[in-house]
Amino acid sequence: MVVTRNPAQRVAKTILFWLVIYGILVGVSAVVRLPGSDWVHHWQPRFEIDAYPPWVELLLFLLPGLPFLSGLTLTALLLALRLRRANHWHILAAFSAMPLFWTLWLGQIDAVPLLGLISLPWGLPLVLLKPQVAIWYVWSWWRKRPDRWLIALGGVAFLASTFFIWGWWPGRFSLPAAYRTVYDLSAWRIHWILGVAALLGALWEPDPDRAMALGALAAPYIQGASYFVLLPALARLSGWPLLVVWLTSWAGTAALFFGDAARPLAALFPLALWAALRWTSNRRPFLANAQVDGARQAYDTKTV
């Protein structure tokens, strides 16, 4: 007798499973408390949130405390790695990389654009809440879609609806307090030529992960926590490239010993990730795991 699985039942079980995981990680985050300075001084009191689109208020309404945000961060990363078919080494590397600790320590919302990438095209509103890095994945992904103009139309319709609800909110937009400070890791702050090179590379890069890595350098403003959305791409690496990229994720800690002059070293992580993915891609015809690497280029919801 052939037993057929009810798709709706499968989806319900999957959602329930990840809600349980989220609940467990919220509990762990409540016990292991981190400072969450940005949450305490920025998100919770709604201070300077005009630097973000107005629908961020809906997100904050669903996150009543820092443990809920920390749990979301951990769950989103675990889910993204699962969708990338990551092995135990990839999971270890991602969960011990500096961008994760950076995000948790600050209490930032970088898990939200990652969830947006997982659920494209419907997750585009989540990507737009903090688009500095994730939008470049969307750009490269969108160019390959046969229904790209339908997706673009849906995006325009969504933005039009936000103007109807919140008015002309771009007119209330304000720059972050850390803009053009030592915390800004944008390549434009180092030299405009580097900024232009990163921008052109991100625009023309056909691989979404590599475009996102270059986009992290081309962003006009970015802090190290925003590198969090790059971590699932570690699932495409193995051996010494994975180790080297993981080590560069900690390069920003040099500022603890050498001061603010060493802060730009944090940008070595997206640069190393782009180079490693490029190198792996060039060698793919000669690799035994070529099909596995190809499967890890995108978020496959069938593997949840």
Q: Which residue has the higher pLDDT, 5 or 154?
A: 154
Put simply, whether the predicted model's pTM sits higher than 0.75 gets the answer yes
Cα distance between residue 27 and residue 21, in whole Å: 10
Cα distance between residue 2 and residue 41, in whole Å: 58
Give the rounded percent of residues in the chain with a pLDDT score beyond 70. Answer: 89
Let me know: does 234 contact 90? Beta carbons within 8 Å.
yes
First to last CA, the chain: 26
pLDDT value of residue 285: 39
pLDDT value of residue 283: 52
Q: How many CA atoms lie within 13 A of 137 on its CB side?
A: 31
The two structure tokens encoding residue 92:
């270890």
pLDDT value of residue 189: 85
| Residue 290: pLDDT over 50 | no
Mean pLDDT (whole number) for 166-195: 80
Query: Hey, what amino acid is at 200?
Result: L
Please write the tens of the pLDDT for every residue from 102-161: 999 999 999 999 999 999 999 999 999 999 999 999 999 999 999 999 999 999 999 999
pLDDT value of residue 287: 38
| Burial class of 149 by CB neighbour count within 10 A (0 to 12, 13 to 18, 19+) | exposed
With CA atoms as reference, report the closest residue to 77 among 217, 233, 214. 233
Sign of the alpha-carbon torsion through 107, 113, 265, 251: positive
| Residue 286: pLDDT over 50 | no
pLDDT value of residue 180: 63
With CA atoms as reference, report the closest residue to 144 among 120, 165, 177. 120
